[in-house]
Amino acid sequence: MKTRIPLVVRNIDLDDDETIEQLALSLSDLGWQEAGGQTIATVYTTSADPVADAMAAASHICRVLPRVTVERVDEQFVSLADIAARAGLSHEAVRLWATGKRRTAREPFPPARTQVGQGRSTSKIWVWPEVLTWLKEQYCLDLEPGNAYLNARQVARLNAALHEPKRQQWQRTDTAGVTRTLASLDEALQEGTAIARRFATQDACP
């Protein structure tokens, strides 16, 4: 199974000849594209720790292109119309799933991540990997066979690493440095979880 990790990259011009040359020479293992007004560099990995691979790729991007910033994971927001088009289904079928009016599956449709617009023009937005997983698990619709995406915890872990205060340092470190950064973040996350559980136990009713 191959994990696809789309990363949002800032301060890069895919129409620039020098940049194109650098991508071809040093970053050709990544997928590059313009999507929704932003540049996406997609990491492809079969590693058991895809987050570490994505961090290493981000570090390599910043070494090759020093002015570039790897900002975050692109969570691939989609509307009902986007979902229907990608899945080859009718808009009405997807709408009924999303509103809970068509409950033929064991699990309800993934919750919307956010919404845009106001009043009658309000539209809800979903995260495509979550919808993709739901369709596969509930209806055996494997729309991207052989591909997987980071789960929510992995996305949070990678985004935290990308926004770590010493980002400029890890951007220029080797793989061992990336591994140490992720290990420190994991320790912090585990410590935070333990503290939260302790307070929850203290606050629990007898």
What are the CA-CA distances from residue 6 to residues 15, 117, 138, 186, 202 (Å)? 20, 26, 25, 22, 41
Compute the distance between CA of residue 83 and CA of residue 45 in angstroms, rounded to an integer.
25
Instruction: Report pTM.
Output: 0.77
Phi, then psi, of 77 in degrees rounded to 5: -70, 140
Compute the distance between CA of residue 136 and CA of residue 118 in angstroms, rounded to an integer.
32
pLDDT in tens, 157-206: 999 999 875 554 445 455 555 555 556 656 655 665 554 444 344 443 33
Order the strands of the 77-78 sheet from edge to edge.
77-78, 123-127, 114-116
pLDDT in tens, 113-134: 998 888 777 889 999 999 999 9
pLDDT in tens, 144-158: 999 999 999 999 999
Whether 53 contacts 40, CB under 8 Å:
no
Q: What is the predicted pLDDT for the residue at 102?
A: 78
What are the CA-CA distances from residue 57 to residues 76, 81, 177 (Å)? 19, 33, 13
pLDDT in tens, 43-86: 999 999 999 999 999 999 999 999 999 999 999 999 999 999 99
